[in-house]
Amino acid sequence: MRGLRAVTICAVLGLGLRAGAALANDTSLNLHVDPPRLLDGEYLPVRLAAEHIIIHFGKKETRVRVEFTFENLTDYEEHFSAGFPDEDLLYRYLRNALDSGMTEDQLFERYNLDYGLMDGDVSGGITGFKAWTRVAGQPPSANQDLPYRIIRVDSLASTIPETDFPAGAWDAADGGSLLLCRAFDLTLEPHGKVIVGHSYTAGTGANVESQSLFQYQLVTGRNWAGTIGEALIDVYVDDDLKDEGLYFGSPDLPDYAPVTVPSQDELKPLEPGHWRAVWRNFEPEGQRGWIYLATTPRFALEGAANEQEPKG
């Protein structure tokens, strides 16, 4: 069983990070989607027993639906708060502060930001967000309207100052980095299981190689007890990307363009346009810390087309 482990993965992802897996300077990528993050307490004996991640990968937008099964490992009732981080909205909130006349130096001093603001906007705002909970074995309850909370994160856990967002300014607490969450509170019966689900639509990123790109973070699963029991990952490529398909790399130019993670050894085709991977009892870090979807780059598509041209 594992206690809380501090992970620095840019608590404000939208402020200082472009697509790290890509080499082009003008690459954009959606980075604003995470599993529920534990928000209070330094250790909680609740395990992320399973997650089913369904991603419909499209050229302009990507639809995501995920259900997480949490399991109480104790003989007593557990109460806890968790949240879905939404860095894109936080980024726009801070941009509004700049647009109202605040300088970047003043912004960094007031909010104690660890990363600089990048030029331009971040791709892929989240729309149509819905969330639900249910006891394992029962149908989903009604979708919930989750309130926003702006919090300070010294590690993956933090106390939660309630905030009405985005109405008005607020006084930042000392220490830590900013995080904006759609937050919820749960109670787990002894050894009980509860399922938390959410769905949304997000913009799909792109780069100069005409690749469509999307990333889903799993690393926030590290602050639940133990390993993640199982991740069932279903990826559907929408019709508007069927010609490009998923790109798993080229033996000729292995480092030239972003590639899909999980690798081709794990993400297996079940039928046209549908791939599946299953990860069991794993730490969400390294190659299993994210799902990264990338379509075939321009150079590979052009090469394939040239090979098919009839020779005179």
Is 106 within the bounds of a domain?
yes
Instruction: Give the number of other CB atoms < 10 A from CB of residue 252.
Output: 9
The span from the CA of 12 to the CA of 31, in Å, is 10
Token look-up 């321009």 returns 298
pLDDT tens figures, 1-22: 232 222 222 222 222 222 333 3
Q: Tell me, what amino acid is at 72?
A: N
The span from the CA of 59 to the CA of 203, in Å, is 9
Is 2 within the bounds of a domain?
no
Average pLDDT over all residues of the chain: 74
pLDDT at 66: 93
Domain count, the chain: 1
Instruction: Give the number of other CB atoms < 10 A from CB of residue 193.
Output: 18
- Full-model pTM: 0.75
Q: Report the percent of the chain where pLDDT is more than 90.
A: 32
CATH number assigned to the domain comprising residue 230: 2.60.40.3680
Q: What residues have CB less than 8 Å from 109, skipping those under 6 apart?
A: none
Is 38 within the bounds of a domain?
yes
Is 286 within the bounds of a domain?
yes
pLDDT tens figures, 135-194: 777 777 767 767 666 665 544 333 333 343 333 333 333 444 556 677 788 889 999 999
DSSP H or E stretch at residue 105: helix 104-111
Q: Is 137 left (phi over 0), alpha (psi -120 to 50) or beta?
A: left
pLDDT at 212: 93
Q: What is the mean pLDDT of residues 189-206?
A: 90
One DSSP character per residue, 155-216 reads SS--------SSSS--PPPSSSEEEEEEEEEEEE-TT-EEEEEEEEEEE-EE-TT--EEEEE
Q: What is the mean pLDDT of residues 47-76?
A: 94
One DSSP character per residue, 19-88 reads -TT---TT-B--------EE-S-S---EEEEEEEEEEEE-SSEEEEEEEEEEEE-SSS-EEEEEEEE-HH
pLDDT tens figures, 144-161: 767 666 665 544 333 333
pLDDT at 31: 59
- Greater model confidence, 93 or 65: 65
Q: Tell me, what amino acid is at 234?
A: D
The span from the CA of 135 to the CA of 69, in Å, is 9
- Greater model confidence, 211 or 222: 211
Is 6 within the bounds of a domain?
no
Is 1 within the bounds of a domain?
no
Is 179 within the bounds of a domain?
yes
Domain of 33?
Answer: 13-308
Res 292 pLDDT > 70 = yes
Which of 170-174, 227-231, 292-296 is least confident? 170-174
Is 4 within the bounds of a domain?
no
